[in-house]
Structures are given as structure tokens and as C-alpha cells.
Amino acid sequence: MARCSRIISLILAACLMAATSTAVAQYGPLLTAAGPINRSMAGASTAAPLDTLGAYLWNPATITGLENSADIGLEVFMPSAELASSVSAGAFGPGVPPVTLSGRTASESGAFPIPNFGFVYRPDGSRWSYGVGLMSLAGFGVNYPGTPSNPLLSPPPPNGFGVGPIYSQYSLLQVVPTIAVEATDRLSLSFSPMIDLASLNIDPGLLASPDVEGGRGTYPPLTHGSYHWGGGFSVGAWYQTDVDWDFGVSYRSLQSFIPFQYASRTPEGFPRTIDFLVDVPATLSLGTAYKGFERWLFALDLRYLDFANTRPYSHSGFAPDGAVRGLDTASMFALATGVQRVLSERAVFRMGYSYCTKPIGADQAFFNVASPFVLQHALSLGGTYDITKKFNVSVAYSHFFTGSVSGPWQSPAGPIPGTNVTSTLSADAVIAGVGFKH
């Protein structure tokens, strides 16, 4: 029974993704696009300035190519996540469990609202442009109800082999004040400090050491916390040629946060203060755009997201005190491509496709339960209609194709034979917004 209790404590680590990643985005916890225009182009905007929201997300230097304007967007993201787990008879010792157990459970996380706002201003006759974006940079929510039919979500021992329900909710807002300048007639440069505000709630809290009660470990809830500050910076460049090709590059630094702190409790109800770090990875974006065909624009972005050097994604395994160190996540390479077609003086149609590498495999599946890192392919389409010369309405739709990862449960001694966990995720998003021009 002691062996069983120890294994069950380790099983709690499978909830880690409810703590540190998202069921909302394709780039791990990061969103791939902002607002309906940028979303309809699948986020391709490093060298193609179409609106303020896409510019502030991927290359603020491109705001020099925009009119004095403001954009407001609201995205409703609808993930569909499932968690399946199985334990073969005798996996935890002779007769434990006596028969093979398996089950599948859907997350009840619902839909996520994602607002964004941006504006840009350029004085008459000036080479300088100024602006600010208020961006939803990342977010997630996982809500797996407890059930005796799914081993991982079954009650803790002696009534089951799991942890019961798993809940998490994460939001990250970013303010991006920007100054950009046309250094030459073709080259624009930008600098943007990034100010972040994030909230994270987790139950069970796997990044904390477990409390020992009755011979088994229980991870404390991390639900009594506040918003936490973080920040970094962004630099960008945009170059326009005279042969219909434009090029862009931007670098978003590692965004460091103060420790997330929680007023938690022990199983006996005594107060316990817990803190840990969750940062945002550095990102490098390269882009090109071609506008040599009348009424057409083609854009392509390539990105590198440095998860391998960002806490907690860069760590792996278990700490000596039983806490989960991190997700053992590889850095990610991504591609986004979009096409725009001007249909008339008032109407524009867009379509885009995005892809990213999957930085986890079978060995990391256990630590990435319900992980968004399984999303790799997304298709988007949308359009804009000018109500007047100064006011437009845009809509977009995106589908994130089903991805999954499967592997054995893990312990400090390695994989546990006879066990399996599978995470499956797909998503849809509907986006609407309005734009104003001076």
C-alpha cells in the first residue's frame, strides 16, 4: 500500500499542464494572432502592416506604414480538449489495480473571450510614429471533472488511483507602448517596452511540493493569488524595396515575472505560502511580403520561440521535495502565411495558414496533459468591409486541426509499464472587430 501511495503521489504530476500551459493557443501559451484582420492572415504580419493589432503583436516597426488609426477586436476561442488514461492490471504492484482501467473525459472549460486594442498616431510631416497596444498575449483554461471511470481523474486512494478534478485558468495581458521612426525612405525601426500582467489559478498545484498526509502526498491548491507583473522589450525593423518585396524582422525578449505567490493551505487547514516562476519565452520573427500583383498581397512569416530556455518549460522531472520541475519542452519553429485580395473599393478577403513544430513526444506526454503543444495546423479566413472611409468592420474564423500526444506515466525512476495517457485537442475561433481611421 505504501508503494501504491507513492505512485499515486507521482501521478499528480500529470496535472502539470493545467498549471503551466494553455488550451487557447497554437504556440504553447502564446496566441498566434490578434484581432480579425491579423487572424484571417494566420498571424502573418512581420512585413505586412494591415492593422495596428497585427503590428503590435509581431512587428511594431510596421506602424510607420499605417494611417492614424485605431482597432478593436474580440475573439471567442472554443477549445475541445479530451484526456484519456489507462492503467493495466498490476501496474502499481501485484493486484493493484486488480483489473485494467481506462477512460476518456472532455474538458468543460467552455469558451474564452480574447480582447485586443491598438492605435497609432503620426504627426503631419513627421518621420516618427507613436502608439500603444493593449494585447491579450496568452491564456488558457482546463476544467476536467472528477470521474471514477477515468483513472487519472478518479478519487485519490484508497477510493481510486487519481487526483479527482483538475482545474486551471490563466490570463496574460500586455501593454505595448511603441515609438517607430522612418530612418530612411525605405527602412523603419521601432522600440517597445512590454508591460505584462498575468493571473494563474491551479488545483492541484503541481509546481509546489506536496504535503504529506496519511503516507501519501497531496499537492496544495494554488487558487488564492493576485495578478503578477512582468515585462521585457521588443525591437523591430521593416524594409520596403522598390521591386514589390518588403522584409521585416522583430525580436521579443524573454519576459520575466515576479514570483507568482499564493496564500494556500495544508491538508489540515493551516496557512502555507507558495511561490514559483512562470516566464514568457523570447521570440524571433522574420517576414516577407509581396505586392506585385494588382489587388493582391502575399505574406510569409517564420518564427522561433525559445521555450527551451524559459522557466518552467526548460525544466523536467521531479524535484527532491516532490514538486514537478517543468515541462521538458523543446523550442518551437513556426510558419504563418496569408493572402489578401481586394474585391472592391469597400471589401477585402483574406485567408491564412499556420504551422508549428510539436515540441513534445511520448516521453513528455505525461507532463503535458491537455497540452496545447499538440496543436500544429490552423486555417483561417475573413474579410473587411468599409462602412465609410473612416470606419470599417472585420470578421474572421479559424479552425485549429486536431492534434494529440500519447505516452506512459512517468515516475522519478522512469516510465511506468502498463500505463498510458493521451491528450487530444482541437479548437475553433470566431473574431470580430472594428477599425477607425483619422
- Give the range with max mean pLDDT: 56-65, 196-205, 258-267, 419-428: 56-65
Q: What is the pLDDT of residues 190-202, one digit of tens each?
A: 999 999 998 888 7
Q: What percent of the chain has pLDDT over 70?
A: 87
Section 322-349 average pLDDT: 87
> Residue 408 is which amino acid?
P
19-33, 136-150, 170-184, 291-305: least confident range: 19-33
Higher pLDDT, 45 or 330: 45
Least confident of 4-8, 244-248, 262-266, 417-421: 4-8
- Check residue 18 and give its pLDDT: 34
- Cα 263 to Cα 206, 223, 260, 275: the distances in Å are 15, 8, 11, 9
The residue with greater pLDDT, 252 or 107, is 252
- pLDDT (tens digit, 9 = 90+) per residue, 8-43? 343 333 333 333 334 456 677 788 999 999 999 999
Please choose, from the candidates 153, 274, 159, the residue with its C-alpha nearest in 3D space to the C-alpha of residue 221: 274
Q: Quickly state the pLDDT bin for 321 (edges 50, 70, 90).
A: low
Please name every residue paired with 58 in a beta bridge, in sequence order, or none if there are none: none
**CA distances to 37, 188, 200, 251 from 278, in Å:** 30, 33, 9, 20
For 173, residues 6+ apart whose C-beta sits below 8 A from its C-beta are 134, 135, 136, 137, 196, 197, 198
**pLDDT value, residue 270:** 77
Position of cell 489587388? 295
Task: Encode pLDDT of 139-163 as tens digits.
Answer: 777 788 888 889 888 887 777 777 7
Note the pLDDT of residue 171. Answer: 83
Whether 4 has a pLDDT exceeding 70, the answer reads no
Average pLDDT over the chain, rounded to an integer: 85
Give CA separation, 320 vs 42, 97, 273, in Å.
43, 27, 19
Q: Please state, in angstroms and rounded to a whole number, the distance separating the CA atoms of residues 396 and 349.
A: 10
Report the pLDDT value the prediction gives residue 371, as an integer from 0 to 100: 62
Per-residue pLDDT of 379-400, as tens digits, reads: 999 999 999 999 999 999 999 9
| Residue 59: partners with Cβ closer than 8 Å, 6 or more residues away | 45, 46, 47, 49, 190, 236, 238, 248, 249, 250, 285, 287
For residue 430, the SS3 value is: strand
Q: In a 3-state reduction of DSSP, which class is residue 142?
A: strand
Q: Give how many domains the chain has, as a whole number.
A: 1
The pair phi, psi for residue 115, each rounded to 5°, is -90, 150
CATH of residue 425's domain is 2.40.160.60
Which residues constitute the domain of residue 157?
2-437
* 220 DSSP 8-state letter: P
Q: Please tell me the distance from the alpha carbon of residue 356 to that of residue 373, in angstroms, as a whole number.
A: 9
Closest CA to 116 of 339, 432, 382: 432
State how far the Cα of 431 lies from the Cα of 426, in Å rounded to an integer.
17
Predicted confidence (pLDDT) per residue in 268-293, tens digit: 777 887 777 788 999 999 999 999 99
